[in-house]
Amino acid sequence: MASTPSSTLLSPLYESNTFCNFTSLQKLSFPLNNKLLHSKSVTLTTTHVSLQEQSDISNPTNPRKTASSSKSSYIWVNPQSPKASQLRQKSYDSRYASLVKMAESLDSCNPVEEDIFNVLAALGDKVVEQDAVVILNNMSNAETALLVLKYFQQRLKLSKEVIIYNVTLKVLRKSKDLDRAEKLFDEMLQRGVKPDNVTFSTIISCARQCNLPEKAIEWFEKLPSFGCEPDDVTYSVMIDSYGKAGNVDMALNLYDRARTEKWRIDAVTFATLIRIYGAAGNFDGCLNVYEEMKALGVRPNMAVYNSLLDAMGRAKRPWQAKNIYADMISNGFQPSWGTYASLIRAYGRARYSEDALKIYREVKEKGLELSVVLYNTLLAMCADVGLTDEAVNIFEEMKASGTCQPDSWTYSSLITINSCSGKVSEAETTLNEMMEAGFDPNIFVLTSLIQCYGKAGRTDDVVRTFDRLSDLGLSPDERFTGCLLNVLTQTPKEDLHKLTVCLEKANPKLGYVVKLLVDEEAVEEGIFKKHAAEILDCVTTDVQKAYCNCLIDICVNLNQLERACELLDIGLTLNIYADIQSRTATQWSLQLKSLSLGAALTALHIWMNDLNKALENGEEFPSLLGINTGHGKHKYSEKGLAGVFESHLKELNAPFHEAPDKAGWFLTTKVAAISWLESRRAQEVVAA
DNA sequence: CTAGGGTTAG
């Protein structure tokens, strides 16, 4: 092996810097402990470092004098000097490295006692407890680790047996093996080893990582019965577990308790709190925690910054993400992969595509090697903002990088992009490429394909794709069903029955409601509304609006305006829509942002009725009336609601005109509005 | 890295 300057600095006890050389390890028996560390002097050769007994040293009073008694020349080093501590560190590092190597070979060893014990025999007889801890702490194979534990328990007189149990629990946690962890805990008790806070926090975080937050809570609650009082770390783990269990209140309660009990709350716990607030959608809560943390004099760490960036991304507040990023840099931190990923997501969600792509260029310019996750984050961002060509470029660069390969996420994003931009054959090609790479389509891919075929009017392919889901052993989720529902809004009447069959399979109650519409079935008054309300009430809030919008669109397409109005009413009652109509002394407004076209037309219809009533009642009109459609363009089409709505207003001869200085607003005056309403009423009378 | 917490995704 080539001798590098650093390898020549090793103790003479090592043959080379190949630390997995167990023969030399055996001879070594690890010199760091005991008297060697505490000897008065440390010697150094120009080619070798040696930590030896003082007897080797000819003149301890002159630390700089060169000794000539041995073959190599030695230099005196004062044990208190930085050099000596450097030497100790070097020696420690090399010993540590060899133990890590041993842990690795134990990980890949057969999980049989004989093989394991053979590997460990290389440690020799003078094994110390600390070595056992280092080895286990670096292992990741649960099965072999349990045998390693057994070996040390047989060979060593352990002064603190709880420690070796605790590091073994860490290994079990790495393999997410709560069953074995619980068994090991029982074994501890049987052997009379008393568990401590480390034991509990490790088991609790194991439960949390196994996605069993209830189990975590169970363990936390039994902690006092073992004579333990939770400390700051245990609180921190539990705060996280409550957060994961969706029990935000309990998480915050615990934080309050930790605070009143004057535990030192550190940056990791604050990062956890920020994540919990972020997941709960309380983004101001995130910022408050950040401020509170700074006020308490706790220095933020990367986890804090990254969770904040992530939260601001979810909140669609890219400007705040920028501020936090600037804070982070000015405090001397370097962005991590997590930072880049959070920023890309934050910019993507806010449609700041240029900023997101700038991050990509920055990473490349720095010569950093992108990981699959970062590539996938970029592609997901492209899908979010509709950057079709960029996505293809990034995908090509990813494949050319040679450092990472596309996975199912990669293909999924590409299929989404192709589907949303109506490129059916490209989506199909990507699907085939994905399957050739060994990935089955997952629910996200199939959701995109349903959208893709739906948009292209290929109803039979939608049905085929729908059936593929159950063929693959998957069941529809709310998004998948929502996309199917959305396809119905774009499908000609004669094809709708093919899709209601699917919808009934995916969600019988929703299927029933849609069937009432499609079959134009007359039912007792209130029945339709009752069933529709039930459906909308039981889906999660993040799909409620999409479902409601789609149902209204289907009504409008089928000319069932009354039911459309009923649905809009349900939407208002359930707070799916808020403040559609508003009145101030100077302006009456109709707020249509985030409504589908059908829902917007329905809301306009209701508003006009209400204006008529106001007119009949002789109410005083304000000087200005306005409709806000929002100016957001749809990501995969040129026209937003504003563009489509404008032509509808013309059809109605409505006097509303787009305000030149307020994008997305259509305004009219009191006089024009009243004369328009009156002329419509006159027409209705004539028609009647 | 040094017996416990978090850290890159629809």
| Phi and psi torsions of A624, nearest 5° | -130, 140
Q: Are A483 and A506 in contact (CB under 8 A)?
A: no
Residue nearest to nucleotide B4 (CA to C1'): A198
Residue A633 clears pLDDT 50, i.e. is over it: yes
Residue nearest to nucleotide B3 (CA to C1'): A163
Residue A673 clears pLDDT 60, i.e. is over it: yes
- Using the CA of A413, give the nucleotide whose C1' is nearest: B10
Identify any residues that bridge with A626 across adjacent strands, giving them in sequence order.
Answer: A589, A667
Q: What is the pLDDT of residue A650?
A: 93
CA of A409 to C1' of B9 (A): 8
Q: Are A482 and A550 in contact (CB under 8 A)?
A: yes
d(CA A459, CA A494): 11
Residue nearest to nucleotide B9 (CA to C1'): A377
Query: Strand B closer than 7 Å to the CB of A33?
Result: no
Q: What is the pLDDT of residue A78?
A: 65
Which of A448, A442, A500 lies closest to A474 in space, CA to CA? A442
Q: At A64, is the pLDDT very low, low, confident or very high (cuts 50, 70, 90)?
A: very low
CA of A444 to C1' of B10 (A): 7
CA of A548 to C1' of B5 (A): 42
In A 408-467, which Cβ lie closer than 7 Å to strand B? 408-409, 412-413, 442, 444-445
CA of A487 to C1' of B10 (A): 20
Q: What is the pLDDT of residue A108?
A: 93
d(CA A452, CA A458): 9
CA of A446 to C1' of B4 (A): 42
- Using the CA of A305, give the nucleotide whose C1' is nearest: B7
Residues whose CB is less than 8 angstroms from the CB of residue A207 and which lie 6 or more positions away in sequence, other chains included: A178, A213, A215, A216, A218, A219, A241
CA of A180 to C1' of B2 (A): 25
Residue nearest to nucleotide B8 (CA to C1'): A338
Do the strands A624-628 and A657-658 form a parallel or antiparallel pair, or are they unpaired?
unpaired
CA of A371 to C1' of B2 (A): 29
Identify any residues that bridge with A583 across adjacent strands, giving them in sequence order.
Answer: A588
Residue A646 clears pLDDT 70, i.e. is over it: yes
CA of A250 to C1' of B7 (A): 23
* Higher pLDDT, residue A261 or A283: A283
CA of A314 to C1' of B9 (A): 13
Q: Are A360 and A395 in contact (CB under 8 A)?
A: no
Residue A11 clears pLDDT 60, i.e. is over it: no
The mean per-residue pLDDT over the stretch A152-181 comes to 93
CA of A630 to C1' of B5 (A): 45
Residue A58 clears pLDDT 60, i.e. is over it: no
CA of A423 to C1' of B2 (A): 55
Give CA A181 to chain center in angstroms.
26
Least confident of A485-489, A508-512, A653-657, A659-663: A659-663
The domain A579-687 is placed in CATH, from the list 3.30.1370.110, 3.40.800.20, 3.40.640.10, 3.40.50.300, at 3.30.1370.110
In A 380-399, which Cβ lie closer than 7 Å to strand B? 380
Q: At A80, is the pLDDT very low, low, confident or very high (cuts 50, 70, 90)?
A: low
- Using the CA of A100, give the nucleotide whose C1' is nearest: B1
Cα A503 to Cα A222, A416, A446, A469, distances in angstroms: 47, 21, 15, 13
Which of A119, A102, A133 lies closest to A33 in space, CA to CA? A133
Residue A74 clears pLDDT 90, i.e. is over it: no
Residue A657 clears pLDDT 70, i.e. is over it: yes
Tokens of A236: 């921190």
- Using the CA of A416, give the nucleotide whose C1' is nearest: B10
The mean per-residue pLDDT over the stretch A262-284 comes to 89
Query: Strand B closer than 7 Å to the CB of A92?
Result: yes
Residue nearest to nucleotide B2 (CA to C1'): A134
Least confident of A200-214, A242-256, A312-326, A427-441: A242-256
What is the average pLDDT score of chain A? 85
Cα A341 to Cα A275, A308, A346, distances in angstroms: 15, 12, 9
Helix (H) or strand (E) holding A72: none
Query: Strand B closer than 7 Å to the CB of A158?
Result: no
Residue A367 CB neighbours (<10 A): 6
CA of A413 to C1' of B10 (A): 8
Q: What is the pLDDT of residue A462?
A: 97
Query: Strand B closer than 7 Å to the CB of A96?
Result: yes
Residue A516 clears pLDDT 90, i.e. is over it: yes
Burial category of A361 from C-beta neighbours within 10 Å (exposed 0-12, middle 13-18, buried 19 and up): exposed
CA of A321 to C1' of B3 (A): 37
Least confident of A192-206, A248-262, A453-467, A531-545: A248-262
The mean per-residue pLDDT over the stretch A386-414 comes to 92
Q: What is the pLDDT of residue A81?
A: 67
A596-A601-A606 Cα angle (round to 5): 125
Domain spans in chain A, listed from the N-terminal domain onward: 476-578, 579-687
Q: What is the pLDDT of residue A542?
A: 85
Q: What is the pLDDT of residue A82?
A: 67
Least confident of A72-81, A283-292, A405-414, A574-583: A72-81
CA of A273 to C1' of B7 (A): 14
d(CA A343, CA A340): 5
| Phi and psi torsions of A625, nearest 5° | -125, 135
Strand order in the sheet with A624-628: A581-583, A587-591, A624-628, A665-669, A657-658
Query: Strand B closer than 7 Å to the CB of A135?
Result: no
SS3 of A504-548: the string is HHHCHHHHHHHHHHHCCCCCCCCHHHHHHHHHHHHCCHHHHHHHH
Residue A41 clears pLDDT 50, i.e. is over it: no
DSSP character at residue A640: -
Cα distance between the two ends of chain A: 101
Q: Are A603 and A590 in contact (CB under 8 A)?
A: yes
The mean per-residue pLDDT over the stretch A30-52 comes to 32
Tokens of A358: 């700038």
Query: Strand B closer than 7 Å to the CB of A336?
Result: yes
CA of A449 to C1' of B6 (A): 36
User: What angle, rounded to 10 degrees, do the helices at A337-349 and A353-365 form?
Assistant: 160
d(CA A42, CA A193): 39
Residue A15 clears pLDDT 50, i.e. is over it: no
Query: Strand B closer than 7 Å to the CB of A372?
Result: yes
Residue A435 clears pLDDT 90, i.e. is over it: yes
Q: Are A371 and A404 in contact (CB under 8 A)?
A: yes
Which of A456, A558, A446, A448 lies closest to A500 in space, CA to CA? A558
Residue A367 clears pLDDT 60, i.e. is over it: yes
The residue type found at A135 is: I
Least confident of A19-33, A111-125, A247-261, A536-550: A19-33
Residue A2 clears pLDDT 50, i.e. is over it: no
Which pairs count as long-range contacts for A336-339, CB under 8 Å and 24+ apart, including other chains? A336/A302, A336/A306, A337/A371, A337/A373, A337/A374, A338/A302, A338/A306, A339/A302, A339/A305, A339/A306, A339/A309
Query: Strand B closer than 7 Å to the CB of A377?
Result: yes
DSSP character at residue A619: P
CA of A21 to C1' of B4 (A): 32
Residue A651 CB neighbours (<10 A): 8
Residues whose CB is less than 8 angstroms from the CB of residue A344 and which lie 6 or more positions away in sequence, other chains included: A356, A359, A360, A374, A377, A378, A381
Least confident of A83-92, A281-290, A474-483, A484-493: A83-92
Tokens of A137: 């702490």
- Using the CA of A92, give the nucleotide whose C1' is nearest: B2
Query: Strand B closer than 7 Å to the CB of A548?
Result: no
Tokens of A311: 């939260």
Query: Strand B closer than 7 Å to the CB of A238?
Result: no
Residue A500 clears pLDDT 50, i.e. is over it: yes
Tokens of A187: 């074994």
Tell me the residue ranges of DSSP E strands in A57-104. 66-67, 74-77
Query: Strand B closer than 7 Å to the CB of A128?
Result: no
Query: Strand B closer than 7 Å to the CB of A237?
Result: yes
d(CA A578, CA A664): 18
The mean per-residue pLDDT over the stretch A360-365 comes to 91
- Using the CA of A342, give the nucleotide whose C1' is nearest: B8
Query: Strand B closer than 7 Å to the CB of A301?
Result: yes
Q: Are A230 and A207 in contact (CB under 8 A)?
A: no
The mean per-residue pLDDT over the stretch A310-329 comes to 93
CA of A338 to C1' of B2 (A): 26
The residue type found at A229 is: E
Residue nearest to nucleotide B10 (CA to C1'): A444
pTM, two decimals, is 0.75
User: What is the residue whose two structure tokens read 């690890």?
Assistant: A30
CA of A134 to C1' of B3 (A): 9
Least confident of A4-18, A466-480, A483-497, A651-665: A4-18
Q: Which bases of strand B have any atom within 7 Å of the beta carbon of a protein residue? A: 1-10
- Per-position DSSP letters for A8-61, written without gaps between them: HTS-TT-SSS-TT-HHHHHHH--TTSHHHHHSS-EEEESS-EE---GGG-S-TT
Residue environment code for A80-90, b if the CB has 16+ CB neighbours within 10 A, otherwise e: eeeebeebbeb
Tokens of A163: 């420690």
The mean per-residue pLDDT over the stretch A565-585 comes to 96
Residue nearest to nucleotide B1 (CA to C1'): A96
The residue type found at A263 is: W
Helix (H) or strand (E) holding A43: strand A42-45
CA of A307 to C1' of B6 (A): 10
Q: What is the pLDDT of residue A60?
A: 37
Which of A394, A476, A417 lies closest to A442 in space, CA to CA? A476
Query: Strand B closer than 7 Å to the CB of A269?
Result: yes
A651-A656-A657 Cα angle (round to 5): 105
DSSP character at residue A495: G
Residue A258 clears pLDDT 60, i.e. is over it: yes
